[in-house]
Amino acid sequence: MADRESGIGARVLRKEDKRFLVGRGRYMDDINRPRQVYAVFVRSQVAHGTLKGLDSGAALETDGVIAVLTGEDVAADGLGSLPCGWTIHSKDGAEMKTPAHPALAIGKVRYVGEPVAVVIGETLEAARDGAELVELDIDELPPVTDVVAALEQGAPGIHDDVPGNECYHWGLGDEEAVDKAIDAAHHVTRLELRNNRLAPNAMETRAAIGEYDPVDGMYTLHVNSQNPHLHRLVLAAFVELAPEHKLRVISPDVGGGFGSKIFIYSEETVCAWAARRVGRPVKWTATRSEAFLADAHGRDHASTAELALDKEGNFLALRVRTKANMGAYLSTFAAAVPTWLYGTLLAGQYKTPAVHVEVRAVFTNTSPVDAYRGAGRPEAAFLLERIVEKAAREIGMDPAELRRRNLIPKDAFPYQTPVALVYDTGDYEASLDKALDMADYAGFAARRAESEARGMKRGIGLSCYIEACGLAPSQLAGELGAGIGLFESAEIRVNATGGVKVFTGTQSTGQGHETTFAQLVADRLGLDMDEVEIVHGDTDRVQYGLGTYGSRSLSVGGSAIHMATEKIVEKARKIAAHMMETTADDVDFTQGLFTAKGTNKSMHFKEVAFSAYVPHNYPLDELEPGLHESAYYDPENFTYPAGTHICEVEVDPETGVVDILAFTAVDDFGRIINPTIVEGQVHGGVAQGIGQAMLEHCIYDDESGQLVTGSYMDYAMPRADDLPDFTLAFTETPCTHNPLGAKGCGEAGAIGSTPALINAITSAIGHENIAMPATPLAVWRAMRGAE
């Protein structure tokens, strides 16, 4: 029976954990198919060049090598370009430039790691040996990897059909109003910054197994995907691999995603296609080195910003100019990230009356850049919270008080920002106050004095972030250039004996959906958690769905489950009414029990379910047998999680080493179903945000275009001893437009934490000009004013 121990808001232990803890998770590389062969990709080792030819002779003579397939083979079978699912229009109305993105390179190579050919072998070793022997004949061209350099006159051109390497030049907001306000302002704070490029680094690398059954023409693709139906849709409708009903996509246990497993990549496309070519299942599992080279990276912006303030510290206007690195090709959602997921967030939590942003998206000789945890919103929050902090220091106002003065007040919702969004609800001062209290902000001066007495520099930094989650509604997204709908679906099948299977179109990559969704359903139907099973990750089992990204799974997917559950209750109520000889209006349902008002008659949900499948005493003239409902939920609006993060650090002036002493996060995610799971999401997000601020950086060599940080020897992943314990709390203003009141919690940590930490470091060292990652060397140099 559902109660506070398992109901909404309860700290239920996760249902999925046991299989993971005993080693019975089923991840991609744990899956093998009869007669499978292995794919190894031959990747470009140069960043830019003309692909003149390819010699596969020696490879084909290698023992166990079955085939070497190239871009020409892909084209010969009529497969289309990998599409970008979002179209952006430039300020002048022109559609963005979308160069062809072949699954295997044709004519030119454009980044180190780009797949050029695939070697199929009886064993992985044979395929590897063969791949070593494939010779690429490439005339090298000068590369450009830096987002600013790629726009300069005379920069190497990456695509013939993209002059100047510019994909689009997008704008949002009232330019004239912003210009006027900045020209007339009492004070203008200016900031130039980079948002460093990151590798997503899910611990399970990408992998795929393609299969083809020639008898019925059916493809099956196992791929660790955040959105198996999207994989199916894109591969059917755009790449034209197979008709949608002839393609089944299965996404098993997924070992982390963080955005990187949203996208439809070359490798899974080739595995599915090659399976038909060679007549056997084709398996590929990325090495970590391949993941660094060929997973879509995140961030990589260069921006300037100007914030105008009046004498009292009221924000008047914000102007932002950003250059966003797209990499060599447009990945699946790349175009949307630095536009609708970035520019629209630049109002932040503030009532700044005028904001204008322009973004130039730029092709470079690097791995494609796309959504990575937060996707655009961390870049917006970083820029905004850095310039607000700098402004406070310039005008001599306490940074917390400057923020408070400019917060959108809680009685101003719904609030129309100057950059398109309408925030439905929030109480930003509540999370600010709570965070200040928990972090003992008032006591900071004394702590700083104590550090100084020891020769250490202490700093405290805030960030009041906002994000927009659960991309929606479909119609608006379509108007803004989305190529897909953004609803979610749910199907609930109640068995005759009362157990329930819930089919959701979202996909867990570790967020605990099997628990949170089961809590929703078990709580409503009065069942035990064990009586509710969540099914996801198989396009032949689940009706349809759009997957997990943008912290949408609960607010959108959970809402669909809620709607389907309510339909189950309403049908069951009618059945119960018939059996108790009353009307549905006179039947109550709580804690799994239907009761006829004013009588002592009651029936358990399970009895009603049984009757639905054994309809001997059943209103067959009014109702069909069975207890099985589905729902599609298309949200009215985004949701807007927001909060305050505060970081306190101590910097050793001798070494530049930063010690994070405390990290406090107070977040408003609306209604919370399972606080333990939500806290875990915040922990992980904050760790990634701290990683960005202090450790992580994908570096390409300017001259050669080589990825310098191509392994864990060179790319600094956050380790346990890089991070502090986190102090968390929640405030709650329920989302006003979804039935759960939920806002989403997956990305907030990665959005709020980065600026809080950099603000703390700059507070400690008294120097604003520090690039991320703030390594000890970077901090040491900044303290000495050296570059």
Partner 1 sequence: MAINVSLSVNGQAVSRDVQPNRLLVDFLREELGLTGTHVGCDTSQCGACTIHLDGLPVKSCTMLVVQADGARITTIEGLAPDGDGGDLHPMQEAFRQNHGLQCGFCTPGMVMAGIGIAQRHGLPSNDVIRAELDGNFCRCTGYHNIVKSIAAGAKAMAMTGAKTVAETGGE
Per CB under 8 A, 13 contacts partner 1: yes
Contact 638, 417 (CB under 8 A): no
Residue 313 or 510 with smaller CB distance to partner 1: 510
Per CB under 8 A, 511 contacts partner 1: yes
Q: Which of 62, 70, 195, 201 binds partner 1 (CB under 8 A)?
A: 201
Residue 67 or 728 with smaller CB distance to partner 1: 728
How many helices, marked H, and strands, marked E, lie in the chain? 19, 28
To partner 1, the closest distance from the beta carbon of 112 in angstroms equals 17
Residue 379 neighbours by CB under 8 Å, 6+ apart: 195, 299, 301, 303, 322, 338, 342
The interface mask with partner 1, positions 209-248, x = CB under 8 A, is ----------------------------------------
Token representation of residue 773: 């990652």
Per CB under 8 A, 30 contacts partner 1: yes
Q: Say how many Å lie between the first and final Cα of the chain, rounded.
A: 64
To partner 1, the closest distance from the beta carbon of 468 in angstroms equals 23
Q: Which of 3, 24, 475, 497 binds partner 1 (CB under 8 A)?
A: 24
Residue 603 or 694 with smaller CB distance to partner 1: 694
Alpha carbon dihedral 468, 725, 200, 31, in 10-degree steps, equals -110
Residue 510 or 641 with smaller CB distance to partner 1: 510
To partner 1, the closest distance from the beta carbon of 204 in angstroms equals 5
Token representation of residue 320: 């932002």
Per CB under 8 A, 205 contacts partner 1: yes
Distance CA(638)–CA(477), nearest Å, equals: 10
Per CB under 8 A, 371 contacts partner 1: no
SS (H, E, C) 478-529: HHCCECCCCCEEEEEEECCCCCEEEEECCCCCCCCHHHHHHHHHHHHHCCCH
Residue with token string 């300020």: 91
Position 547: which residue type? G
Residue with token string 């306000």: 181
Residue 67 or 254 with smaller CB distance to partner 1: 254
Q: Which of 241, 561, 577, 687 binds partner 1 (CB under 8 A)?
A: 687
Residues numbered 129 to 158 that lie near partner 1 (CB under 8 A) are: none
Residue 303 or 674 with smaller CB distance to partner 1: 674
Residue 581 or 721 with smaller CB distance to partner 1: 721
| H/E segment holding residue 105 | none
Per CB under 8 A, 23 contacts partner 1: yes
Per CB under 8 A, 503 contacts partner 1: no
Per CB under 8 A, 20 contacts partner 1: yes
Distance CA(516)–CA(17), nearest Å, equals: 13
The CA distances from residue 709 to 258, 296, 516, 778, in Å, are 19, 14, 37, 17
* DSSP 8-state symbol, 169: E
Q: Which of 76, 203, 445, 620 binds partner 1 (CB under 8 A)?
A: 203
φ, ψ at 461 (rounded to 5°): -140, 145
To partner 1, the closest distance from the beta carbon of 1 in angstroms equals 23
Q: Which of 99, 156, 164, 256 binds partner 1 (CB under 8 A)?
A: 256
Number of residues that bind partner 1 (CB under 8 A): 54
Distance CA(154)–CA(564), nearest Å, equals: 58
Residue 711 or 769 with smaller CB distance to partner 1: 711
To partner 1, the closest distance from the beta carbon of 760 in angstroms equals 17
Q: Which of 686, 756, 758, 770 binds partner 1 (CB under 8 A)?
A: 686
The interface mask with partner 1, positions 616-635, x = CB under 8 A, is --------------------
Residue with token string 């092709």: 363
Residue 155 or 435 with smaller CB distance to partner 1: 435
Position 464: which residue type? C
Residue 102 or 121 with smaller CB distance to partner 1: 121
Per CB under 8 A, 18 contacts partner 1: yes
Distance CA(696)–CA(754), nearest Å, equals: 12
To partner 1, the closest distance from the beta carbon of 715 in angstroms equals 10
Residue with token string 């051109």: 157
Kindly write down the DSSP assignment for every residue of 545-598, as one continuous string.
---S-TT-IIIIIIHHHHHHHHHHHHHHHHHHHHHTTS-GGGEEEETTEEEETT
Q: Which of 27, 238, 444, 544 binds partner 1 (CB under 8 A)?
A: 27
Per CB under 8 A, 719 contacts partner 1: yes
Residues numbered 258 to 277 that lie near partner 1 (CB under 8 A) are: 258
Residue 634 or 722 with smaller CB distance to partner 1: 722
Residues numbered 272 to 331 that lie near partner 1 (CB under 8 A) are: 287-289
Task: Specify the stretch interacting with partner 1 by CB under 8 A; choose among 250-258, 295-303, 541-549, 754-762.
Answer: 250-258
Q: Which of 2, 14, 67, 262 binds partner 1 (CB under 8 A)?
A: 14
To partner 1, the closest distance from the beta carbon of 679 in angstroms equals 8
Residues numbered 698 to 717 that lie near partner 1 (CB under 8 A) are: 711-713, 717
To partner 1, the closest distance from the beta carbon of 719 in angstroms equals 6
Residue with token string 């970083």: 382
Across the strands, what pairs with 658?
A: 651
Token representation of residue 233: 């849709």
Residue 591 or 711 with smaller CB distance to partner 1: 711
* DSSP 8-state symbol, 165: G
Secondary structure of residue 633 in the 3-state scheme: strand
Task: Specify the stretch interacting with partner 1 by CB under 8 A; choose among 42-50, 251-259, 534-542, 575-583.
Answer: 251-259
The interface mask with partner 1, positions 735-754, x = CB under 8 A, is --------------x-----
Contact 504, 546 (CB under 8 A): no
Distance CA(161)–CA(94), nearest Å, equals: 14
φ, ψ at 750 (rounded to 5°): -75, -15
Kindly write down the DSSP assignment for every residue of 338-353, as one continuous string.
TTTTTGGGTTTTB--S
Distance CA(263)–CA(714), nearest Å, equals: 25
Q: How many other β-carbons are positioned within 10 Å of the β-carbon of residue 323?
A: 23
- The 10 Å CB-count burial string (b at 16+, else e) for 159-173 is beebeebbbbbbbbb
Contact 200, 260 (CB under 8 A): yes
Task: Specify the stretch interacting with partner 1 by CB under 8 A; choose among 73-81, 361-369, 494-502, 719-727.
Answer: 719-727
Q: Which of 17, 63, 140, 183 binds partner 1 (CB under 8 A)?
A: 17
Q: Residue 620 half-sphere exposure, CB side, CA atoms within 13 Å?
A: 6
The interface mask with partner 1, positions 646-685, x = CB under 8 A, is ------------------------------xx-xx--xxx
Distance CA(42)–CA(133), nearest Å, equals: 9
To partner 1, the closest distance from the beta carbon of 257 in angstroms equals 8
Residues numbered 403 to 422 that lie near partner 1 (CB under 8 A) are: none
Token representation of residue 619: 């209103």
To partner 1, the closest distance from the beta carbon of 288 in angstroms equals 4
Task: Specify the stretch interacting with partner 1 by CB under 8 A; choose among 492-500, 503-511, 629-637, 641-649.
Answer: 503-511
Task: Specify the stretch interacting with partner 1 by CB under 8 A; choose among 20-28, 105-113, 396-404, 625-633.
Answer: 20-28
Task: Specify the stretch interacting with partner 1 by CB under 8 A; choose among 46-54, 351-359, 423-431, 508-516.
Answer: 508-516
Contact 553, 513 (CB under 8 A): yes
Kindly give the pairing relationship between strand 207-213 and strand 218-223: antiparallel
Contact 739, 563 (CB under 8 A): yes
Contact residues: partner 1, CB under 8 A: 13-14, 16-25, 27, 29-30, 201-205, 253-256, 258, 287-289, 509-512, 676-677, 679-680, 683-688, 711-713, 717-721, 723, 725-726, 749
